[in-house]
Amino acid sequence: MLKPIIKLLTSLRLTVTLLALGVAVVFFGTLAQTSDGLYVAQSRYFRSWFSTWSPHTVPWIVLPLPGGYLLGTLLLVNLISAHLQRFRFAWKKSGIFLTHLGIILLLLGQLFTDMFARESRMSFAEGEGRNYTEDFQKTELAVLTDASDRTYDSVVAIPESLLSARAETTHASLPFTIRVREYHENALVRARAPFVDTNRPPASTEGVGTRAVVEGRPPTREMDKRSMPALVAELVGPKGSLGTWLFSMVLDPQEVVVDGKTFRISLRDMRYYQPFSVRLLKTTHETYLGTTRAKNYQSRIRLEHPGGTGDREVDIYMNNPLRYSGLTFFQSQMGNELRDGSGRGTSVFQVVKNPSWIAPYVGCGLVAAGLVVQFLIHLVGFIRKKA
Amino acid sequence: MKTKLPWLIPLAFLLWFLGSARMPVDKEFSLNRFGSLPVVFNGRHQPLDSIARNALLALRGKQTANLEPWKGDFERPRIVSATEWLLTVMANPEVTDQWPVFRVDHPELISLLGLPDKDREKRSDGKHFAWSQVASDRNFQLMQTNSAVAEEKKAEVRTPFDQALLRLNSAMTLYFRLKNTIQPQDAKDWAAELATLDQLIPPGIAAARASEAGRPYDTNALEALLRPVGRMQVMSRLEPPLVIPPQDPVRQPENWTRTGEALMSHIRGEPLPAAVIDYAAMVSAFRQGRGADFNQAVERYHDRLKGVLPREILKTSREHFFNHLAPFYKAMVIYVAAFLLAVCYWFNFAEWARRSAFGLIGLGFLIHTLGLLFRMWLEGRPPVTNLYSSAIFIGWGSVGLGMLLERFWRNSIGLVVASAIGFITLVIAHNLSLKEDTLQMMEAVLDTNFWLATHVVIVTLGYASTFVAGFLAMVYIVRGFFTKSLDANTGRALARMIYGIVCFATLFSFVGTVLGGIWADQSWGRFWGWDPKENGALIIVLWNALILHARWGALVKDRGLVCLAIAGNIVTAWSWFGVNMLGIGLHSYGWMSGAFKWLALFVISQLILIAIGFLPATTWRSTVPKAAAR
């Protein structure tokens, strides 16, 4: 019973099949990016166990595919068991051993990256400082507990997972409970129009929602846009309900006063706070002579710490990111502040945290070395025979 | 005789190459000197000759202007060099407005614009039309409105008609710019006009000031100045090439300007740059047919520049020579000749044919290498900087590998593969050069010589070796199925060659792909992002690994190996061109729909060969596969 299974798991036939399936998954996963967008396609085809692919125009054709996790796992099992079962070490095969060791490291490294890496952004105009990065894929409902303190923000943030589950949230520093009544992954929020919306009740009983309506939309698939979630929640204080409130990414923070204390609530990109802050000093956007083609984007920033010790200025530009405190900041976009009319330069950094960044370096080194060794052994043998 | 042929044939081609390397002798006007003058266009310093050639490529897909396209090749139609065409456009646009240099192929567009059919009597070939025809008052409006509509559409949904329309529209814009580079397009004698300009300025400015202050002023003086001002504003707004060099080249070497802008600053009180006057002298002399005066003006300007901008002058005259030399075109011709000789060997086993082919490919490879190095020297960059140069480099790598194979096996197979891939990739490169300036500056994110030299070069060699393996496999199928020339030894040798090259391909494509990941990690903090081009490279690695494992596990014999290697061609073509057609991701720098047809044809041809590979051995003309395909 066990023997045929072991034979299958260690067989080269399985390797070849898995590689062929790998080619198929990568190919269809790439094709799907045109319609689903990079992010959705990635999680559907590569960060999954199973998936299906259908042509854009002929949705009834359904091609079942294994997901990236399944293929990766099976390849690992195949590789490791083959080595345990069949391979006997010989100098003639040292290259193959090295190569396979590197492949194992690469597969594991990618798995760890998928599990632990986190991408976010930091965006600001010249002169501004930030002590947090924002995750453009995730949302949170943030309650600023002491709106009167201008120097320090103390925030209670409720993640999207709790909001979309319509959970009820209480917190020690909040004198009210938040009950989510309505949640839209993507929504259009617009002003309530006379005649058109007469029969429709306002989105909420309090705040700006009394003058607005909210309409659910399917999640966006375009690569450079994001879904705009919205929710309606009831706030319940010790003395009873404070009414329902509409929160959306497109709305400014709204103030709720309980017992003379002001709370500022908004739905926003999820923030990761850092123990230091980054201040944008100057942006430089060079173009090639007489054209609009970008030659260089460069941001001069200052790293600032609460005590003021260890502050320093750094230039971040294309192909030259800043690595600091386990994060990598790289130049992503550049523009001009249009909202306040100052025209100050603005800059967006992509900020990546990846604790397993070293794995691919080592893995690749091993594979490359292994391939070179193995092919040299072959080549020398071949030339000797020819000569 | 036959023993000498392997020397004589390459020698003849070498003499042809050396002979054509000499610059043509100028007749009345020193066009060579004029063509090498430096200007700034497309964000880079280049000789006027490059602007002329790229413009003609954009207008009519050739680097020369045929003024009588209705005549056959043997009727000696009047053909004008790129530089002469550009000079005439800039100096005497009334004449060039009548030259049929705008190529329009789409029948709907031809009928929309009411362009004439092919008719010798009316001096029309039905494909090439003059500015006066495509930009007549009626057509100008039509072009404007229609191309605005086409412009609105996304690139993927544009019809061939839209594309033809937009292509013509941008060709027209370019021509319009060039006409207004040195002088306003309606100038009759620009040097004389310029000389009178200074007399108009003081009274005109005085009148303008008075008018602003509400005092009485000289209307005639104001109008006399406003007329040229309006023309100059049009000139600079069109964004023609920047022909006026920096006034202070030491401190502000990047301060090139357009003629219109220089004139406007002059009217505001700054001194008129000498270049404006020199160029005016050139165009007026050329227009009036005064050769000696033209040559004198060109020399005067050239000498002045040499003193202040020696580096730019050197660079642009090199580029001018490189344009003329056209090494890749000549290598392409040599590869064709070599291919014919190498194939010839398979049928008569004449050693002289094989050795001649080897010599020719060696010569082609030498010229190919020379061109590659020249380009690197011009750009100051590693060999691969864009899709165009990747084609050149894939060809180069494949030819090198093919010659290496031939050194070991001496059966002409390496030569056929080398010359075939060399020729095809250079044709692809030529077609890519029709799209844009091949020496264009790089986008900011790609601007790093270290990674271009490592990741890009190695991954491109991975493409090249995968193609070599695929082409070897094609030789196996074609010779085995269609001819009796594939004997047991050749078949076995081919399979071993394929296996060896796939090993190389695995190494290069893996290391190249991984270096790309490391570049991404270094610059963006993420090693792998599932970007389409990354995925394409990954597919090549996976496929090569698959071939090796299938071979090691004895899952395939020779014929199976051959079919897998041919599929490698499809995989590589997809990664090289296919993903760019998706128009997404960081690497989508070359959207091209025209190439889609060719990609599809290539894939189909490869699928047919694979299908043949599966046919029973009895249907093959050579007898070997029966044994080999156990």
Option in A293, A367, A375 nearest B43 (CB): A293
Rounded mean pLDDT of B583-598? 55
Find the closest chain B residue to A365 by CA distance: B511
Model pLDDT for residues B400-448, shown as the tens digit of each residue: 999 999 998 888 999 999 999 999 999 999 888 877 778 877 776 676 7
Could you tell me the pLDDT band of residue B594, with boundaries at 50, 70 and 90?
Answer: low
Buried-state track B499-510, b at ≥16 Cβ within 10 A, e below 16 = bbbbbbbbbbbb
The mean of the pLDDT values for chain A is: 86
Segment A331-345 mean pLDDT: 80
At A155-201, the pLDDT tens digits run: 888 888 888 888 888 888 888 889 998 898 888 888 888 777 777 88
- Per CB-CB distance under 8 Å, the chain B contacts of A357 are 521, 525, 527
> Is residue B347's pLDDT more than 70?
yes
User: Are B503 and A375 inside 8 Å of each other by CB?
Assistant: yes
Interchain proximity B552–A12, CB inside 8 Å: yes
User: Considering chain A, what percentage of its residues have pLDDT values greater than 70?
Assistant: 96
A253 contacts A147 by C-beta, under 8 angstroms: no
B522 lies within 8 A of chain A by CB: yes
ipTM: 0.83
Q: Is the pLDDT of residue B80 over 90?
A: yes
Helix (H) or strand (E) holding B124: strand B124-125
Banded model confidence at residue B627, pLDDT cuts 50, 70, 90? very low
Query: Is the confidence at residue B553, as pLDDT, over 60?
Result: yes
d(CA B28, nearest CA chain A) in Å: 34
Q: How confident is the model at residue B630 (pLDDT cuts 50, 70, 90)?
A: very low
Q: Give residue B571's pLDDT.
A: 95
Angle formed by the axes of helices B327-348 and B351-379, to 10°? 160
pLDDT at A387: 66
Fold annotation for A118-129+273-353: Tick-borne Encephalitis virus Glycoprotein; domain 1 (2.60.98)
B256 and A289 within 8 Å at the Cβ level: the answer is yes
- Give the mutation candidate from B526, B572, B586 for the A interface (greatest A CB count, under 10 A): B526
**What chain B residue is nearest to A103 in terms of C-alpha separation?**
B510
Interface of A with B in 360-379 (CB under 8 A): 360-361, 364, 367-368, 371-372, 375, 378-379
Q: What is the mean pLDDT of residues B95-107?
A: 92
- Say what percent of chain A tops pLDDT 90: 20
Domain(s) labelled CATH 2.60.98.10 in chain A stretch across 118-129+273-353
Q: Taking all residues of chain B, what is their mean pLDDT, rounded to a whole number?
A: 88
Can you tell me which residue has the tokens 């507990």? A145
d(CA A256, CA B90): 70
How far is it, in rounded angstroms, from Cα B592 to Cα B581?
6
Confidence of residue B593 (pLDDT cuts 50, 70, 90): low
Which tens digit of pLDDT belongs to each residue from B460-508?
Answer: 999 999 999 999 999 999 999 998 888 888 888 999 999 999 998 999 9
Which residue among B256, B511, B521 places its CB closest to the CB of A357?
B521
pLDDT higher than threshold 60 for residue B628: no
Which of A332, A344, A343 is CA-nearest to residue A298?
Answer: A332
pLDDT of B124 over the 90 cut: no
Give the C-alpha separation, B457 to B256, whole Å.
34
pTM: 0.85
Let me know: does A210 contact A191? Beta carbons within 8 Å: no
Residue bearing tokens 């490592």: B454
In this structure, chain A runs to a length of 387
User: For A92-119, what is each residue's pLDDT tens digit?
Assistant: 888 888 999 999 999 898 888 888 888 8
DSSP, collapsed to helix, strand or coil, labels residue B99 as coil
pLDDT reading at B591 higher than 70: no
Q: Record the tokens describing residue B193, joined without a space.
A: 């006009």
Residue of B259, B492, B511, B527 to mutate for A, most A C-beta atoms under 10 A: B527
Where is pLDDT greater, at A36 or A324?
A: A324
Q: What mean pLDDT comes out for the span A217-240?
A: 80
pLDDT reported for residue B298: 95
Interface touch B549/A297, C-beta < 8 Å: no
Q: Does A330 sit within 8 Å of B525, measured CB to CB?
A: yes
Q: Would the pLDDT of B162 be above 90?
A: no
What is the average pLDDT across B570-594? Answer: 67
How close A42 gets to chain B, by Cα (Å)? 7
Contact by Cβ (8 Å): B328, B426 = yes
Of A199-213, B347-361, B414-428, minimum mean pLDDT range: A199-213
A203 CA: distance to closest CA in chain B (Å): 37
3-state percent breakdown (helix, strand, coil) of chain A, nearest 5: 30, 40, 30
**pLDDT beyond 60 at B589:** no
Give the pLDDT confidence of A74-84 residue by residue, as tens digits: 999 999 998 88
**Coil, strand or helix: which one is B589?**
coil
Indicate the pLDDT class of residue A86, thresholds 50, 70 and 90.
Answer: confident
Q: Which of residues 462-501 of B touch A (CB under 8 A)?
A: 500
pLDDT tens per residue, range B6-19: 889 999 999 999 99
Q: Report CB contact under 8 Å: A30, B571.
A: no
- The distance from CA B495 to its chain's CA centroid, rounded to whole angstroms, is 36
Burial degree of B474 (CB within 10 A; 0-12, 13-18, 19+): buried
Q: What is the pLDDT of residue B590?
A: 39
As a whole number of angstroms, the distance between CA B69 and CA B79 comes to: 9
Q: Please say if the pLDDT value at position B584 is more than 60.
A: no
Q: Which of A365-374, B89-98, B213-222, B267-276 has the lowest mean pLDDT?
A: B213-222
Average pLDDT, stretch B205-210?
88
pLDDT of B502 reads 94
* Cα–Cα dist B256/B630, whole Å: 71
Rounded CA separation B606/B568 (Å):
10
